[in-house]
């Protein structure tokens, strides 16, 4: 059972117990009678669980970066916040959009449910990538360069800082790239040959790629992301933990995600 489903279930159970007590049990208790423990817990936890559910479902949700596919923008051990209302308000568990608030823009870093399932009952897996192609775009990837509707996306070489020695593959190159309003850094490995080709993004879908271009499992391999799979827009690193050193990476705390 997913975390949102557990939260909805807990809200329903604690709220129901509290309501039943308010309507039926409490009026029959003596004034000096002690409140049942189950009612006390339900009354105490119901507003807390409800608040957490509302915040996670409609405002912001925490997410941990599990892989290096978004290096150098995001590192393994980064804990980020995802804006849940950037692309529409959705009901928890059902994922049904009830209010439209916007659409992904080119260059946005988005969290989404992995669109490929071998079985319908497989659990949802959250991925994070950058939006490269919008509905109707013709997206190509050749010689480490993105082509959008036939036009190459320019890249400018950058010097790799010493801080990237442990997180970037040997021989990789750091480059700056502009997608929409987002100017960001990417990593490429000139000696590595990856999937190349061209595709037209279907309506209601998005073509996504990782910033660590030669170490990312993305739309080049499994296709586009349906709009209904979007979870939200990543916007802030609120904590970062270096698993090698076993400590907090202080200079990444509060870093906005471009």
Dihedral (Cα; 190, 188, 205, 99), 10-degree rounding? -170
Q: Which residues pair with 206 in a beta bridge?
A: 225
User: The tokens of 177 are what?
Assistant: 């790239």
What lies within 8 Å, CB to CB, of 119 at 6+ separation is none
Residues 6+ away with beta carbon under 8 Å from 82: 60, 61, 62, 63, 111, 231, 232, 233, 234, 235
| Coil vs helix vs strand at 106 | coil
**Which one of the listed residues 69, 172, 216, 219 is annotated catalytic?**
69
DSSP string, 11-47: HHHHHHHHHHIIIIIHHHS-TTPPPPHHHHHHHHHHH
Please indicate whether residue 69 is annotated as part of the active site: yes
Cα separation of 37 and 41, whole Å?
6
Q: Who's near 35: CB < 8 A, 6+ residues apart?
A: 21, 29, 43
Q: Of 197, 204, 238, which is closest to residue 220 (Cα–Cα)?
A: 197
User: Which residue out of 129, 216, 219, 240 is catalytically annotated?
Assistant: 129
> Would you call 144 a catalytic residue per the annotation?
no
Q: Which residues are catalytic?
A: 69, 129
């Amino acid at each position: 059972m997913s975390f949102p489903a557990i939260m909805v279930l807990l809200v329903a159970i604690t709220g129901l117990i509290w309501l039943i007590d308010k309507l039926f049990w409490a009026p029959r208790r003596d004034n000096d009678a002690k409140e049942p423990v189950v009612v006390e817990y339900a009354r105490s936890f119901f507003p807390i669980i409800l608040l957490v559910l509302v915040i996670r479902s409609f405002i912001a949700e925490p997410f941990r970066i599990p892989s290096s596919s978004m290096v150098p923008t995001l590192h393994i051990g980064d804990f980020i916040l995802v804006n849940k209302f950037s692309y529409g308000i959705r009901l928890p568990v059902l994922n049904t959009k009830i209010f439209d608030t916007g659409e992904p823009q080119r260059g946005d870093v988005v969290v989404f449910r992995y669109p490929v399932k071998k079985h319908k009952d497989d659990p949802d897996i959250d991925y994070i990538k950058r939006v490269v192609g919008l509905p109707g775009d013709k997206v190509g990837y050749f010689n480490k360069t993105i082509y959008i509707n036939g036009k190459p996306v320019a890249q400018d070489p950058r010097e790799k800082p010493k801080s990237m020695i442990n997180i970037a593959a040997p021989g990789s190159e750091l480059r700056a790239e502009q997608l929409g309003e987002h100017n960001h850094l990417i990593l490429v490995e000139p000696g590595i040959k990856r999937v190349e080709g061209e595709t037209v993004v279907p309506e209601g879908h998005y073509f996504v790629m990782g910033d660590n271009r030669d170490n990312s499992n993305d739309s080049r391999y499994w296709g586009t992301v349906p709009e209904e799979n979007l979870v939200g827009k990543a916007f802030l690193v609120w904590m970062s933990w270096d698993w090698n050193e076993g400590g907090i990476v202080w200079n990444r705390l509060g870093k906005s995600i471009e």
